[in-house]
């Protein structure tokens, strides 16, 4: 790989493609993910670029650029990938901060695009001050800003948006790898439950829990981060009343749902697993939460998450994320993996990743710094 002068327009374009990862509905910053003990929050094969962005090597597109003075390769990682159709109906900012050359979003539609709005910002070739670089007097999209495979079937879009011709670039076909729910479950059980751990057996039908005092009577806070309390729930599901605080625990429900009723639930380093049911998180305030539901996962808009959060489900009923994260630092990361659909209604800026077998609907009036990947369609 030949060293290139980053003051040249071609080199700047390549640099943007090589480093960009952040998607934002309205504006973005850089993405920095700290190392984690949880394999679902790190990618051992990722590149660590100079600006601390992590790129997913499994989603590379390699292009060669040749000029009279140099020949080099650029490696890009699409930020938004739909194996189906990628639709933009409500606009948005896919260019991020115009003076930041490294926060553009790259869009890929396996079957094509439906762009039904002109109220959007697309990544354009700019200099290091954010000024447009014109070619024959016109602005142009950066490399791989909008891409499709050779066998795409539809491309509906305004011919021009803000004076820029909108046309797709043909690249090699991309596929989205969605881990199976069983694989996620097995890996998380091995990670969360140390060998030789003792379990607390509980049947809510025989021991109804109606208040926080009832909960404290049956479940004392005896777990630690290294040796959490393992609670195995038999019968048919469990309802968790207001004001319950749970820390350093793994709750496994054999049959039925988990419902957080009321308010003021505080969770820290907790895993909730339903082998044959759904989870309604209600208004939880959670730090380092893992939820694995064979059914669906949903919550209220007042749900708040911090630290590393993993939400994964095993049914086509999907996941509805309507909460927020307390911050968007390099220690806060939300990962949602669904075997069905994802409906994303976040109420604050989130660092995270959405991965689904089914469609993803991005309805949030808030930033997402991370990536979106679907084996189905994606709607903005």
Q: What is the 3-state secondary structure (H, E, C) of the chain?
A: CCCCCCCCHHHHHHHHHHHCCCCCCCCCCCCCCCCCCCHHHCCCCCEECCCCCEECHHHEEEEEEECCCCEEEEEEECCEEECCEEEECCCEECCCCCCCCCCCCCEEECCEEEECCCCEECCECECCCCCECCECCECCECCCCEEECCCCCEEECCCEECCEECCCEECCCCCCCCCCHHHHHHHHHHHHCCCCCCEEEECCCCCCCCCHHHHHHHCCCCCCCCCCEEEEECCCCEEECCCCEEEEEEEEECCCCEEECCCCCEEEEEEEEECCCCEECCCCEEEEEEEEECCCEECCCCCEEECEEEEEECCCCCEEECCEECCCCCCCEEEEEECCCEEECCCCCEEEEEEECCCEEECCCCCEEEEEEECCCEEC
Write the CA distances from 263 to 126, 212, 215, 322, integer angstroms: 48, 11, 15, 16
CA terminus-to-terminus distance, the chain = 37
pLDDT at 162: 79
pLDDT at 37: 53
pLDDT at 196: 79
Q: Please answer whether residues 249 and 215 qualify as being in contact, where contact means their C-beta atoms are separated by less than 8 angstroms.
A: no
> Which residue bears the tokens 């968007």?
328
Pairwise CA distance, residues 273 & 300, whole Å: 19
Tell me how many degrees the CA angle 119-123-129 measures, rounded to the nearest 5: 115
What number of other Cβ atoms are within 10 A of residue 175's Cβ? 12
Pairwise CA distance, residues 79 & 86, whole Å: 12
State both tokens at 54. Answer: 């992590």
pLDDT at 19: 28
Which stretches of the chain drop beneath a pLDDT of 70?
1-78
Domain range annotation of the chain: 9-170, 181-356
> Which residue bears the tokens 């393992």?
230
pLDDT at 22: 31
Pairwise CA distance, residues 65 & 338, whole Å: 38
């Amino acid at each position: 790989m030949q060293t290139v002068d980053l003051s040249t327009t071609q080199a700047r374009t390549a640099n943007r493609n090589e480093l960009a990862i952040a998607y934002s509905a309205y504006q973005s910053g850089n993405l920095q993910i700290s190392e984690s003990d949880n394999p679902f929050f790190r990618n051992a094969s990722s590149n660590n670029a100079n600006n601390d962005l992590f790129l997913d090597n499994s989603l590379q597109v390699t292009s060669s650029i040749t000029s009279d003075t140099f020949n080099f390769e650029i490696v890009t990682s699409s930020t938004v990938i739909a194996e189906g159709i990628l639709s933009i109906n409500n606009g948005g900012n896919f260019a991020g901060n115009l003076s930041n050359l490294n926060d553009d979003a790259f869009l890929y539609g396996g079957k094509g695009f439906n762009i039904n709005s002109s109220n959007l910002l697309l990544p354009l070739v700019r200099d290091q001050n954010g000024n447009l670089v014109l070619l024959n007097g016109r602005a142009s999209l950066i490399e791989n800003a909008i891409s499709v495979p050779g066998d795409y079937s539809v491309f509906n879009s305004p011919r021009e948006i803000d004076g820029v011709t909108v046309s797709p670039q043909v690249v090699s076909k991309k596929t989205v790898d969605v881990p199976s729910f069983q694989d996620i479950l097995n890996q998380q059980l091995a990670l969360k439950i140390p060998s030789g751990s003792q379990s607390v057996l509980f049947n809510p039908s025989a021991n109804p829990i109606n208040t926080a005092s009832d909960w404290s009577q049956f479940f004392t806070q005896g777990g630690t981060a290294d040796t959490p309390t393992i609670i195995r729930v038999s019968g048919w599901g469990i309802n968790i009343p207001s004001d319950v605080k749970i820390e350093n625990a793994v709750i496994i429900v054999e049959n039925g749902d988990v419902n957080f009723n009321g308010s003021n639930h505080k969770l820290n380093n907790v895993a909730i697993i339903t082998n044959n049911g759904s989870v309604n998180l209600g208004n939880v305030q959670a730090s380092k939460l893992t939820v694995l539901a064979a059914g669906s996962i949903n919550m209220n808009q007042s749900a708040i998450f911090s630290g590393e959060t993993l939400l994964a489900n095993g049914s086509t009923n999907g996941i509805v994320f309507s909460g927020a994260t307390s911050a968007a630092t390099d220690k806060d990361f939300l990962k949602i993996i669904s075997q069905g659909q994802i409906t994303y209604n976040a109420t604050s800026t989130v660092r995270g990743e959405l991965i689904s077998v089914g469609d993803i609907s991005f309805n949030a009036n808030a930033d997402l710094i991370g990536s979106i990947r679907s084996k189905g369609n994606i709607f903005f």
